[in-house]
Each structure stands twice: as structure tokens, then as C-alpha cells.
Amino acid sequence: MGVNIRFFIGKGGVGKSTTSALTALNNAHLGHDTILVSMDPAHNQSDIFQRPFTEKPKQVVRNLAVKEIDLDYWMATYLKDTQAQLKKAYSYQSAFNIHSYYKILKYSPGLEEYALLLAFKNTLQTEKKRDNIVFDMPPTALTMRFFSLPFISLIWLKALLKLRGQIYDKKGIISKIKFGKREIERDKVKDRLKSLIDDHIQLQKYFTADGTDINLELNNDHLSFQEAIRIRQKLADIGIDIGRILINKVKNGELLEEITNQFNGYPICRFPLSSGELYGLQSLKKYTLEIPLFAIPNPVGEIR
């Protein structure tokens, strides 16, 4: 995997969109082909850069493109594909009235994070030639569901595959006794389960690969600090380690020592509180110039 993947995660309001925009801008300035992807349904990047973005990447400056994930589009596309397969497979679909059921399926719990995963997979495929992909993630709840979905899915998929294996073996026994030879057709469900397992293992690998960098962001206040501790723990529970701590809107004194001690061993970047609002390309550029020791993570994971 040649491309560097950067996630910006943390409590809502800590400044993930701004720091991911600054990082992407800095990476582009250093000559690395970068795309900034807004995964947050609230989509602040269009406000920050003061221009509309869509699913189609839009070039903002040299080496930097931005796109916003449209979750509704990914949910609709997924449901449409499944429905088409269902129509093909089921001869009596109308008997179950599944067609009308699809209208409410988009409100099913879990579909939002799956749509996010589909968009993530698609971005990796379409943008693999770039040097960096920077993901501006949604607030904690959806982000945690996004990261844990492959993990939870794999638990289910492996259990279902085991049961399916038992069913397949029993079919083999019946065929052997009845017809004297083990002659059973390929189990499509078993094949699909195997392919889903491979897909989810691959997704898990993306989250833990060397080129992946998870930036956990917080402010030096108690609420975001405590939430950051919980995020780190929950990610560790599913085998994902964070790569860096970003302290944004740093004000002097408060909690800084405690944060440093708590996250001892992790690289820590500090983004000082800006004197003005970080709004528009010029103010972002100005902010990077204002601070001589500006610690933006660079594309090879070091601190400038």
C-alpha cells in the first residue's frame, strides 16, 4: 500500500475539520499529492474553504483536492444494488413485499456506518495514486462505529461460516448415503461469507497498516481529554492503535502536563489557539505562517 492514510478523530467541536484541512494544505505545500476527504455528514470543509464540494474531488490549490462523502448517495446505491440482486434471485419477491420494505431499510441501524465504509473503500480505490489521503472524520459515536464495524462483522461472519460449514458437511453425508457419492452443488452462501470475511479482514488491515496514521484530537479541557482517553481505550480493544495526539486550540497551562503524561510515548502536536477565525484559504495559510514552530504532521509521520 503506497498511499498514506490519515484519520482525524476526536470529540465533536475539537477542531478536526480545521486541523485536517491545515494538515492536508501543509502536505500539499510540501509537494505531496493530497486529497482531503470529509467523512463527517455535517461537512465543514465547504465552510472552511468557502466553496462547495461534492463526491467529485475538486482541486483547491496545487497538489490538494477536496471531496465530501455523500452518505445518502452511498446508502441509496447499496440498497439499489441489493434490491437488484434480490429481484434476480427471488421468483416470488412480491409475495414477501420486500420491495416496499426497502423504503424503510435506509433507516436501519448500522447502515450509516456501512455506507461510510463503502465510501472509504471506494476512496482508497479511486485515489490510490495519491501520496496522502486525509480523512476528516465524524464525531466520536459514528467514528467508533465505523472503526468497529469490520471487527464486529468478522465475529458474526466467522460464526455464520462455521454453522454453514456444518450444514454443508451434513448435506455431504446425506448425499453419500443416498446416492453413494458426495455430490452437492457449491454453496453460494458459504462462498459469499468467505468473500465478506476477506473484505473485512482487508478493511481491518487498512486501519492498522504502517501507512495509516490515526490522529486523536483534543483540546486542553476536561471533557475532550476524558473522551480522548476513552477513544484510545476503545480503539485498543479492537486492535487499533492511535498514531498521534493533536492538542488543538492550545491555551497556556491548563491540563497540558496531565495530557502529556496520559499520552506518554505518543508524538504530540500542539495547535495554538488562533487569534482570528480560521475561515477561508487565506486565513488557513496565514495561520501556518504565523506560527514558526507549527507542528503539523508531515507525510512521513514526523513532526516538522
Partner 1 sequence: MVSFLDRIQRKIVTVFKTTDAVMRNRAVETVEYELEELDNIFGILVLGTFIGIPAPPIHITMDLLPLMERELNLMLEKVSTAQDPLGDLFSVLGID
The closest alpha carbon to 33, from 65, 63, 3, belongs to: 63
- How far is it, in rounded angstroms, from Cα 128 to Cα 144? 24
Assess 104 for contact with partner 1 (CB under 8 A). no
Assess 273 for contact with partner 1 (CB under 8 A). no
Site residues for partner 1, 156-175, by CB under 8 A, read 156-157, 160, 163-164, 166-167, 170-171, 173-174
* Closer of 109 and 292 to partner 1 (Cβ): 109
* Closer of 152 and 256 to partner 1 (Cβ): 152
E strands present in the chain: 4-10, 34-38, 58-61, 64-68, 132-136, 212-219, 244-250, 268-272
- How far is it, in rounded angstroms, from Cα 256 to Cα 273? 14
Positive/negative CA dihedral, 33, 38, 44, 50? positive
Residue 54 grid coordinates = 461534492
Q: For residue 31, how many C-alpha atoms fall within 13 Å in the half-sphere facing its CB?
A: 0
* Closer of 89 and 289 to partner 1 (Cβ): 89
Assess 72 for contact with partner 1 (CB under 8 A). no
Q: What are the backbone dihedrals phi and psi of residue 69, each rounded to the nearest 5 degrees, phi first?
A: -75, 130
Assess 91 for contact with partner 1 (CB under 8 A). yes
How many residues touch partner 1 (CB under 8 A)?
A: 37
What is the rounded radius of gyration, in angstroms, for the C-alpha atoms of the chain? 23
* Closer of 30 and 118 to partner 1 (Cβ): 118
> Which range of residues in 50-58, 125-133, 190-198, 243-251 is near partner 1 by CB under 8 A?
190-198
> Which range of residues in 7-15, 23-31, 56-64, 110-118 is near partner 1 by CB under 8 A?
110-118
Assess 229 for contact with partner 1 (CB under 8 A). no
**Which amino acid is present at 50?**
Q
Task: Pick the binder of partner 1 from 31, 52, 110, 239 (CB under 8 A).
Answer: 110
Task: Pick the binder of partner 1 from 50, 54, 59, 108 (CB under 8 A).
Answer: 108
- How far is it, in rounded angstroms, from Cα 209 to Cα 133? 14
Among all chains, which residue has been given the C-alpha cell 480560521? 278
Assess 203 for contact with partner 1 (CB under 8 A). no
Assess 129 for contact with partner 1 (CB under 8 A). no
Q: Which residues of this protein are in contact with partner 1, per CB under 8 A?
A: 78-79, 82, 85-86, 88-91, 96, 105, 108-111, 114, 149, 152-153, 156-157, 160, 163-164, 166-167, 170-171, 173-174, 177-178, 188-189, 192-193, 196
